[in-house]
Amino acid sequence: MGHWLHRNIVEPGKLPLLLALTAFVLTFVITRVITRLIRAGKGPFGNVSSGGVHIHHVVPGVVLTIVGGFGAVASGRHGFGAGLCAVVFGMGAGLVLDEFALILHLDDVYWSEEGRKSVEVVVLTVALVGLVLAGFSPFGVNDVSQGEAQDRGGVISSVVVNFLFAMLVLLKGKTRMAIFSVIVPLVGLIGLIRLARPGSPWARRFYARRPRARARAVLRAYHRDKRWSGPRRRFQDLIGGKPDPVRPVGR
């Protein structure tokens, strides 16, 4: 285990990335545990406020992200300073992305249905960083030898093709697949082959005069959402807690 860690993490300079990811995950988990205890009225924790203003944890998160980010740029990829800055950055990123939905909606939607977006973004971030740590490189340019690196045309072509894959998948309304296709091009190829999501730019452009394709796209999206919406919601509830029930208007 130690040999593998040194060869695959320490030597390539990925130790700060591993430390940042670990700090990110731990900070998110600890933050969610504390906020759920506050919500339930248990434990010694409570909301932080100053002058009647509720201080969301995204505020210290931004400060830690800035400090850790600039510190990491100044310290390089090796040494104690790089590791410390990586941990600080990971902690800040965990606090910020835990309230991603608040930043997106500019409203306190932490325990609402919209707040699930924070959990989705955190899980997606962990998955992408984990792929990079496992050896995947963006755009598929991985393990390039010194001789191959001189072939600029081949590298640039690979980058352009995989970028186009990601953009086309995004036009098909498959955001998650588009993001993962940047790291794993095969995901982009699968997204291109499959039908577009109803209402996506691709569907509006190419399915407008193809009623069969449009109907198949709607049916496939319906079955997929029906199949995965339940497990996805249970997974999000397990990580982030159940959102508050929606109250009827006027009550």
Give the list of residues 6+ apart from residue 233 with CB closer than 8 angstroms, or none.
116
SS3 content of the chain, % helix, strand, coil (to 5): 70, 0, 25
Cβ-contact 122, 51 below 8 angstroms: no
- Residue whose C-alpha is closest to residue 82's, from 7, 20, 3: 20
C-alpha distance from residue 163 to each of 49, 168, 173 (Å): 45, 9, 16
CB under 8 Å to 105, separation ≥6 — which residues?
A: 114
| Contact present, 90 and 29 (Cβ < 8 Å) | no
> Which residues are CB-contacts of 82 (< 8 A; sequence separation ≥ 6)?
15, 16, 72, 75, 76
Task: Give the pLDDT score at 135.
Answer: 67
In degrees and rounded to multiples of 5, residue 54 shows phi and psi of -75, 125
- Predicted pLDDT at 138: 52
Q: Would you call 151 helix, strand, or coil by DSSP?
A: coil
Rounded to whole angstroms, how far apart are CA atoms 108 and 105? 8
d(CA 166, CA 172) in angstroms, rounded, equals 10
* Residue 139 C-alpha from the chain's centroid: 17
State pTM to two decimals.
Answer: 0.73
List the chain pLDDT tens, one digit each, 251 residues: 566 667 767 777 788 889 999 999 999 999 999 999 998 888 888 888 887 788 899 999 999 999 999 998 888 767 888 899 999 999 999 999 999 999 988 888 888 888 888 988 998 888 888 877 876 555 444 454 555 545 555 555 666 777 777 888 888 888 878 877 767 778 878 888 888 888 888 888 888 889 888 899 899 888 888 888 888 788 888 888 888 776 555 44
Query: 3-state DSSP call for residue 77?
Result: coil
- Give dist(CA 173, CA 191) in Å, integer: 10
Q: How far apart are CA 124 and CA 113, in angstroms?
A: 18
**Tokens representing 22?**
């670990």
Of 48, 45, 64, 65, the closest CA to residue 56 belongs to 48
